Amino acid sequence: MIAVALDGGGTGEIVSLEGERAVLVASRAAAPGTPLCARLGEAESLQLKVNRCARRGDGRFDIEARAVNLTRALREAIAGRLGHVHGG
């Protein structure tokens, strides 16, 4: 998992990235269709468009989203941090 800061407040973790599909666990909800920016560090951010959001039993939220600005370099950086490489 990769810890991220969410624009507008909140934190999260990228759980997986397959192609343009990202799955996060976040401290706050995001409505479907909402743009969401996940900051991986000072210079890296992943722009997402939320597809689905559901509350978990622990009070956090499972968010499925489509990556909007995913470059090959950013995909490889995320895959490397996740410890695996997915096609796309």
- Structure tokens belonging to residue 13: 């973790």
At 44, is the secondary structure helix, strand, or coil?
coil
Residue 84 scores a pLDDT above 70: no
- Spatial contact of 2 and 75, defined as CB atoms under 8 Å apart: no
42 or 65: which leads in pLDDT: 65
Residue 43 scores a pLDDT above 80: no
Residue 87 scores a pLDDT above 70: no
- Spatial contact of 48 and 36, defined as CB atoms under 8 Å apart: yes
- The 8-class DSSP code of residue 59 comes to S
- Spatial contact of 41 and 55, defined as CB atoms under 8 Å apart: no
User: What letters, b where the CB count within 10 A reaches 16 and e where it falls short, cover 31-47?
Assistant: eeeeebebbbeeeebbe
